[in-house]
Chains A and B, each alone.
Chain A
Amino acid sequence: MAACWLLRSLSSNFSTVLPLLARSASLSPLQLASKPYFGRTLASSSRLSAALKFTDKHEWIRVEDGIGTVGISNFAQEALGDVVYCGLPEVGAQLAQQDEFGALESVKAASELYSPLTGEVVEINTLLADNPGLVNKSCYKDGWLMKMSISKPAELDSLMDEAAYERYIHSIED
């Protein structure tokens, strides 16, 4: 139960929570991953109801009620620079895991986006059309890219949890 209280106190600012979680000795990623509906009793502003999983191409997905919300990580948004355009898929697009689903443009560079899982696009973040910079400013929250249904939940196991992703980032930055 100590873990509950720690999460509640950290829930107010989602974008800074992840680094804190990584450094917290009392919360192991395993505990987070085993409590996907943990946040349902928290305040409605909390987005911590499910753990993030990461791809090696720096997309993240958060699955709640069978729907996955997808975005790019802080590492990715820093490596891109200021995002000026988000090329997103049509609602209804069928995606296999690792399919290209769109591209982000920054500094005259179009960088491909890859689907973390197999499923169907159910919603895209229309705010990004006029405010693509949300991807930089709030990559885990308001800068989400799309939502998709999950055809093969087992694929989640092939993705990295937050601790593994942090290790992956450190290995890249050598």
Chain B
Amino acid sequence: MRGGQPLVEVVRLGLVSYQEALRLQQVYVNRHRSGPAHALLLCEHPPVYTTGIRHKPYPEPLLDQLRLQGADVARANRGGLITFHGPGQLVCYPVLNLCSFKKSVRWYVDQLEQTVIALCSRFAIRATTSPHTGVWVGDNKICAIGIHCGRYITSHGLALNCCTDLSWFDHIVPCGIEGKGVTSLSAELRRHASVEEVVPHLLHAFTQQFNCQLTEAAQDGGESPTPVTSAGTSALTNLKDN
């Protein structure tokens, strides 16, 4: 196994509630008990504000105010402070066993940042890291990152603004960082960039950065995994045999 590229299954969830995505992540986390079973969950959420393990900055009255905006509110066991997820934002939850990669969350978060930076460069957008974890275009955050790691299994992940309605972020100090703004691929490109358009580029950047292979379960529920092509677009043919 050493020297081989880990195999990561791409799981496209579509539009799912944050709670449903938490439940599904746990399913994929539990799969790792019987051996490496890396997965990359892709989804969008209906409007929801989420907080991490640091509860003190976000008492219930503050969260109630956010509910009044029409969004759901959820607490999560991830790192990072408050953020927003909503339609037009590509949310990616890699459920990896770091034993197959490198046993360091610092390395892992670095890799996520570099993946998104590489993706942005495919759109000719110059994105960077900063002392604050996440991916930035100048002083504006284009992608938030917040993860959880237990027994080397990762969950939660990244949220990349493609065509998100950025006004949702007006009601919070995103990630607790005063004086900085948010942006999206659409805002930077000055044209509409949908989640669907961005996904293949994220998958390609992910395989490059993590030196892994992607696979996708056949749509008919058959047992043969379908390889994702190296260009990053999925080849969803109904292969019954290898």
Q: Which chain A residues have a beta carbon within 8 Å of chain B's beta carbons? A: 57, 78-81, 85, 87, 100, 103, 105-112, 114, 172
Contacts and interface: CB of A to CB of B under 8 A. Distances in A.
A79 B103 contact: yes
B79 A106 contact: yes
B146 A108 contact: yes
Contact of A110 (B104, B107, B148, B151): B148
14 contacts: A79-B105, A79-B107, A81-B106, A87-B53, A103-B53, A106-B79, A107-B79, A107-B106, A108-B52, A109-B108, A109-B146, A109-B147, A110-B148, A111-B148
Contacts of B175: 108
B83 to A, nearest CB: 10
Nearest to B131: A82
B79 A105 contact: yes
A172 B103 CA distance: 8
Contacts of A81: 105-106, 109
A91 to B, nearest CB: 18
Contacts of B145: 108
Nearest to B2: A174
Which of B78, B79, B104, B147: most chain A Cβ within 10 A? B79
B133 to A, nearest CB: 4
Which of B109, B110, B150: most chain A Cβ within 10 A? B150
Interface in B99-149: 103-110, 133-134, 145-149
B106 A105 contact: no
B109 A107 contact: yes
Contacts of A78: 104, 106
**Shortest Cβ-Cβ A-B pairs, 7 listed:** A81-B106, A112-B150, A79-B104, A108-B80, A108-B133, A109-B105, A110-B79
Given A107-B133, A110-B77, A100 B106 contact: no
A110 B147 contact: yes
Contacts of B148: 109-112
Q: How large is the interface on B (under 10, 10 to 19, 20 to 34, 35 or more residues)?
A: 20 to 34
Contacts, number: 74
Contact of A111 (B80, B110, B134, B149): B149
Nearest to A57: B151
A109 B103 CA distance: 13
Contacts of A80: 104-106
A103 B156 CA distance: 15
Contacts of A79: 103-107
Nearest to A58: B103
Interface string B166-180: 000000000100000
Contacts of B240: none
B103 A108 contact: no
Contact of B53 (A57, A105, A114, A172): A105
B149 A109 contact: yes
Nearest to B132: A108
A105 B148 CA distance: 9
Contacts of B146: 108-110
Given A108-B109, A109-B148, A85 B104 contact: no
Contacts of A57: 151
Given A109-B147, A110-B147, 5 more contacts: A100-B150, A107-B79, A108-B175, A109-B106, A109-B148
B208 to A, nearest CB: 21
Contacts of A114: 151
Nearest to B134: A108
A112 B77 CA distance: 10
Contacts of A110: 52-53, 77-79, 146-149
Interface in B181-228: none
Contacts of B147: 108-110
A119 to B, nearest CB: 21
